[in-house]
Copies of this chain bind each other. A is one copy, B any other.
Amino acid sequence: MTSREFAKLIGVSQSTVSRALNNSPLVPEEKRKLILAKAREVGFELNSHAKSLRTQRTGTIGILFPKHFVSMSANMMLAHLYDCIQNEMHHYNYDIMVVYYESTSEDFSSFERIIRTRKVDGFLVLRMELSHAEMCLIEEYQVPCVFLMNAGSKIRPQLNYLFSDSEYGGYIAGRYFGGFPDYHKLFITVHEELEDAERRLEGYRRGLESCGCPLEESDILFCRLSIEDAYNCILQNRDRLSRQKTAIFAYSDTLGVGIINACRELGLCIPEQVQIISMDDIPLAQQLHPRLSTLHINVEEMVPRSCRLLMEGIDRKEGLVQEWIRPRLILRDTTVNREDHFLLKELA
């Protein structure tokens, strides 16, 4: 049924129907309610494409996942973030289209195609890693975008972002482990999100150094961003871990889980022989035992704010927000938790 037909059915004009269903102040309250009720009764809704064509608004936003993103199952932090975004956008009555970087055949990339065909009103981008061409595209089409989570390599001015402060997170991990001089310090990291990994490393270094324990290059271990890879990485380094007590800062919870598995395999006690702090705090981090001590990324703040920001951008209420949100240390079972630790006093 079209709005013209529906209008005829209830004996008003198409204009009035449109105004009523769009909550225009021009139609009196009583009449609007009546029309709404009728619409509900006969199941009438405005055709979204005709509406979008006229208004240049689609009622859907895109979420752009990073290039290295493989799947929800593999990158649990992004899956978690997605969950939160989906939940949040629901309040705005907006639908979500998930977009990956991959390009289809020789055509435009999905991202480019979706912008050019105008399928969404704006984008939530889970990592700042757009190319120059893509930035121009955003500029040309004036697509509202909010970047969140990982800062990536190129932080552009004039763009809205709410990033997790990875350097600070690393610093906290370093400073916590700095309170345990008898533990040898390691850092296990990845290539996939290199710039962010660098920031975590820098912070970790700074934290450790502030406690007088520098980090050797040979104490930085690389693996891929998966549970198995972290597991294998630890097994390969079994000698170092059995020789002395070790404190491991892991790039993410995913690695943390792999490390726990490996320690168990090697018969190393957590946290007595091996302490672990990871980052993210995905739901899985406290579902498995021992529960991971980790740097909680403040998704509860980041997601609602970025969604609101994006909606404001769509409504052309401009305003630049650029913030780094600090992760919060959560001590669970993979650390030796000393209540008298100097860091806890500093944070309090």
On A, residues with C-beta under 8 Å from B are 40, 43-53, 58, 60, 71-74, 76, 79-80, 82-83, 86-87, 90, 93, 95-100, 102, 104, 108, 110, 113-114, 116-119, 137, 140, 226-228, 231, 257-258, 261, 264-265, 282-284, 287-289
- Whole-angstrom distance between the Cβ of A18 and the nearest chain B Cβ: 14
The reply to whether B288 and A261 contact each other, CB–CB distance below 8 Å, is yes
Not counting A49-B118, A73-B83, a sample of 10 additional A-B residue pairs whose C-beta atoms are within 8 angstroms of each other reads A43-B137, A48-B49, A49-B53, A49-B58, A73-B284, A74-B283, A95-B97, A95-B99, A228-B287, A264-B264
Q: So how many copies of this chain end up in the complex?
A: 2
Contacts of A48 in B (CB 8 A): 49, 117-119
CA distance A281 to B294 in the complex (A): 28
The reply to whether A100 and B86 contact each other, CB–CB distance below 8 Å, is yes
Contacts of A118 in B (CB 8 A): 47-49
The contact of A82 among B72, B108, B283, by CB within 8 Å, is: B72
Contacts of A226 in B (CB 8 A): 287
Contacts of A231 in B (CB 8 A): 289
Can you name 30 A-B residue pairings with CB atoms under 8 Å? A45-B117, A47-B117, A47-B118, A49-B53, A49-B58, A53-B53, A60-B97, A60-B119, A71-B83, A72-B72, A72-B79, A72-B80, A72-B83, A73-B79, A73-B83, A73-B284, A74-B283, A86-B100, A90-B102, A93-B104, A95-B99, A95-B110, A95-B114, A96-B97, A97-B97, A226-B287, A227-B288, A231-B289, A257-B287, A264-B289
User: What residue in chain B is nearest A78 (Cβ atoms)?
Assistant: B72
Contacts of A72 in B (CB 8 A): 72, 79-80, 82-83
User: What residue in chain B is nearest A60 (Cβ atoms)?
Assistant: B97
The contact of A113 among B45, B87, B119, B227, by CB within 8 Å, is: B45
Contacts A73-B79, A74-B283, A118-B47 given: A86-B113 contact, CB under 8 Å?
no
User: What residue in chain B is nearest A44 (Cβ atoms)?
Assistant: B116
Contacts of A40 in B (CB 8 A): 108
